[in-house]
Structure 1
Amino acid sequence: GSIVGVAYITELFIAWYSGVEYEQYAFLNRATGPYWWAYWAMMTCNVFSPQLMWFKKLRTSIMFSFIISIVVNIGMWFERFVIIVTSLHRDYLPSSWTMFEPTVYDIGIFIGTIGFFFVLFLLYARTFPVIAQAEVKSILKTSGDKYKNTHSHHE
């Protein structure tokens, strides 16, 4: 979370320090423009929520770590959304200064990528089945060379 925050602040600093008014406007528009909610959701998910991992009780909880990982993944999706949509809704042409409304094709591509991910994941799970590590350890303890050497009946 902290490193991502430093990266975001570095991008903001470079836009400010460059003196290019279009770049400065683009970054200011992300934080205060019509898509401010997506920008601040991205900042909350990617920068602020991982800071809870500083507390030992929270970071040692598997369920809390899982929830934070989901929140960070949602934040990464918001990052892509902020980059793409805020870049397109304020173009150099005033005629393209409109709010983004997804078309049927946009929604179809989004749902299709989710479906494609699950198909690949399930094919991978079928090809390389998920095996619990605890089961493998118990089998190795009763079938390894060391076990055979100590429990063999050689005379």
Structure 2
Amino acid sequence: MEIWNEILGNQVLVCSVAGWTVAQVLKTIIDVVLNRSFNPERLFGSGGMPSSHSATVCALTTASGLKYGVGSFEFAISFVVAMVVMYDAMGVRRETGKQAQLLNSVFFENILNLDGVLLQEKLKEYVGHTPLQVAAGAVLGIGMTLVISSFY
């Protein structure tokens, strides 16, 4: 039981995991409302609104700043990681999702006749984020941390 006390006593870890968890649950609820069906992949998958990657790293950065101060190396490292993760979500990962949509349409909607080619499964199209999804995740992560940190 000592290990659970240590884990739950780690403000930075708790805030980060809570940010990811709440973002994933919200993402799933939003998907159910928009598509009128439950997709279990939304609970753990990437892409969609809000960005759980952004929520996680912004919660991490905010909690690090509150716990160790904005002049600490913990804050500096988490801030740089957050910038890289959010930039990547809106850049490379978003473009990967667009390419997956195009390839899926080519391969699975018979736009291109591929005799003899066996396609196993569709490519994942939800891998990146729009700037709005990243911003929403960032606000969620920061807000969650401010609420949770009031209990520490």
Shorter chain as denominator, the TM-score bin is 0.3 to 0.5
TM-score (norm 2): 0.36
Q: Which has the higher contact order (CA 8 A, sep 6+)?
A: 2
TM-score (norm 1): 0.36
Structure number with bigger Rg: 1
